[in-house]
Amino acid sequence: MKRIIIFASGSGSNAENIITYFQQRESVSVVLVMTNNPHAKVLERCKRLKISALSFNKTAFRKQEIVHSLLKEINPDLIVLAGFLWKIPEYLVKAFPNKIINIHPALLPKYGGKGMYGMHVHEAVRANNETETGITIHYVNEHYDEGGIIFQAKCDVDKSDSAEDIAEKIHELEMEHFPKVIESILLPKHV
């Protein structure tokens, strides 16, 4: 059984999509959701889906002996960032090489880096009159949005699209592709 831990900061729609996708499969399981926001809606989703979840603060995240110890004990096959807004500390990147992935709501290397998340990305895409955008699923390294690219999917941006319209298109791509890409990483022969 392959085990996933999800890190999320907000509503948890991607986390829920991943959880429900793998509830239908016997060979992969989401064993824990961790959040840096004790009021995140992802916690409500986890309760409803009967998935263990916990929140932590910056001190617990930055000090190796707390979050790191928990992760080492569980020893996940993959750590998935699904709307997680904090930079992953170097000690975690080194402890789990090529086992931490993130989804970014743009076609990296465009619109990546510190502060480029959610509507900030979609507003920048709109402001620059891009004709296409998309999602990037990538490995996490010591720098924001610079890890090796695993997968990208594109969508058109129409001149009439608002940032909200772009966000909706991106959300559809995330829902369609993120669980499948995770599965292809964990079970390369089965996809």
Residue 113 lies in a domain: no
Entry pTM:
0.95
Q: Which of 104, 122, 138, 177 is catalytic?
A: 104
Write out the DSSP string of 93-123.
Answer: HHHSTT-EEEEESS-TTTT-STT--HHHHHH
Q: Is residue 112 in some structural domain? A: no
State the total domains in the chain: 1
The answer as to whether 123 is a domain residue is no
- Widest pairwise Cα distance in the chain: 50
190 as an active site residue: the answer is: no
pLDDT for 188: 87
Q: Which domain holds residue 140?
A: 2-107+135-154+177-186
Answer yes or no: is pLDDT of 40 > 60: yes
* Residues 6 or more apart whose Cβ sits within 8 Å of residue 142: 90, 93
Where on the phi/psi map is residue 118: left (φ > 0), alpha (ψ -120 to 50), or beta? left
Residue 90 covered by a domain = yes
- The answer to whether position 23 is within a domain reads yes
Q: How far apart are CA 140 and CA 148, in angstroms?
A: 8
Residue 96 sits in a domain whose CATH number is: 3.40.50.170
Residue 168 resides in a domain: no
- List strand residue ranges (DSSP E) for 51-99, in order: 53-55, 78-81
Asked, for residue 16, whether it belongs to a domain, the answer is: yes
> Over the stretch 61-113, which tens digit does the pLDDT of each residue have?
988 778 999 999 999 999 999 999 999 999 999 999 999 999 999 999 999 99
Residue 9 clears pLDDT 70, i.e. is over it: yes
* pLDDT tops 90 at residue 189: no
Report CA 146 to chain centroid distance, whole Å: 14
Q: For 58-73, what is each residue's pLDDT tens digit?
A: 988 988 778 999 999 9
25 phi-psi bin (left φ>0, alpha ψ -120 to 50, beta other): beta
Asked if residue 77 belongs to a domain, the reply is yes
